Amino acid sequence: MALREVIHASGGIATGKDASGQSVMASMSTIPAVGWTVIVMLPTAEAFGPISRALVRTGALLVVGALFAAVLAYWLARRMTGPIQRLEYGTEQIGAGNFEHRIAITSVDELGRLAARFNAMAGELAISQERQERIRRLKRFLSPQIAELVDRTGDDNILDGQRVTVSVIFCDLRGFTAFSAASSPDAVMDVLGSYFEALGRVVTAHRATLISFTGDGLMAILNAPVRVTDPALAAARLAIDMQAAVQSLLVSWRGKGHQIGFGVGAAMGAATVGRIGYEQRYDYTAIGPVVNLAARLCASAADGQILVDVSLADSLGGRVTIASLGSRPLKGLKDDVPVFSVSDGVPREPR
């Protein structure tokens, strides 16, 4: 009677302990026809066993799933961070100028494609750097335009030794030795700096090949290594523009008390031209009697004069104002040499 009341009070199911102290669950059901009440008792462990086992299995699956997810996340993170770190290191190498650095491609996904593009970029930068270095070396003795032309065509044979007809131009300052002996180093370098800056612009504008600076002198040639249509007229234009550029500087120099002049000599003839030097340093030069003749004409020129030889004068024809100065002895030459003076009035090439 007491058990039935407890079950009824608990809503139809009650828990407790049986006579042996085992935890049990009890439920009852009334049979009105006979006035019976049937009470059923079941050990709690037996009643909840399937649920407990299901919970354990579910918990185990959750733990295994969580561990698998963690391992997968770690693998994916390493798979992504590894290439990213290699890319970061690669950018540092490129920034440091190491254009030969390449990234190992270990996948075909987006990061692998990014690494491939990075390697392609590094290769292009290496080629660009090599090209810029090549142009820089060429610009030591060629005008920038010619240096870029040689690089663009990829034809180094144009700089190989050959014998061609060239116009050779020498120029230097008159009275520079006395000026440099009496002036401070700063004053001397100031004059030379503005002087060669002015001449350099003229040589570049005329696309001449700069051979050398020698003290206060400069040597340039036309028609090598790149051919010009009319070497004689090109030389006359260059010489006249050289005189005009330096004569404008002389006004300010003389205002400072510097007694300096400027002369130009030019000659045309066959010469051997090409690269000379060694692996770390090459220069382009011209060798032959025409070079010596142009240098001697320059030495003989007075301030403001442009002296040329008979070959260049004849090639100019009547296109330039030329005056014959007769024959004169030139240092280092056995016979007297016909000398001509070029005046302004040369036809200008449109620019």
User: For 213-226, how does the pLDDT look when each residue is reduced to its tens digit (9 = 90+)?
Assistant: 888 999 999 999 88
Q: Residue 125 falls within a domain, yes or no?
A: no
126 domain residue, yes or no: no
Residue 260 included in any domain: yes
Q: Assess if residue 325 is contained within a domain.
A: yes
Q: Which residue has the tokens 């030379």?
A: 192
pLDDT digits (tens, 9 = 90+) for 78-104: 666 666 667 777 777 777 777 677 777
| Within-domain flag for 288 | yes
pLDDT at 268: 98
Higher pLDDT, 48 or 287: 287
Length of the chain: 351
Number of neighbouring beta carbons within 10 Å of residue 115: 20
Residue 124 domain flag: no
Q: For residues 46 and 192, what is the distance between their CA atoms, to the nearest angstrom?
A: 110
Mean pLDDT of the residues in the chain:
83
Structure tokens at 245: 């550029």
Are 289 and 246 a contacting pair, CB within 8 Å? no
* Residues 125, 127, 130: CA angle, nearest 5 degrees: 105
> Which residues make Cβ contacts (< 8 Å) with residue 37, sequence separation at least 6?
4, 28, 29, 30, 31
Which residue, among 329, 324, 327, 328, has the nearest Cα to 342 in the 3D structure? 324
Q: What is the mean pLDDT of residues 34-39?
A: 68
Contact 325, 207 (CB under 8 A): no
| Amino acid sitting at position 166 | V
**113 versus 187: which is more confidently predicted?**
187
Listing DSSP states for 222-276 in one string gives: ESSSS--S-HHHHHHHHHHHHHHHHHHHHHHHHHTT---EEEEEEEEEEEEEEEE
Residue 257: how many CB atoms within 10 A of its CB?
Answer: 10
Total number of domains constituting the chain: 1
Residue 280 located in a structural domain = yes
CATH number for 302: 3.30.70.1230
What is the arithmetic mean of pLDDT over 242-271? 95
Containing structural domain, residue 168: 161-342
Assigned domain for 119 exists? no
HSE at residue 170, side-chain half, CA atoms within 13 A, is: 25
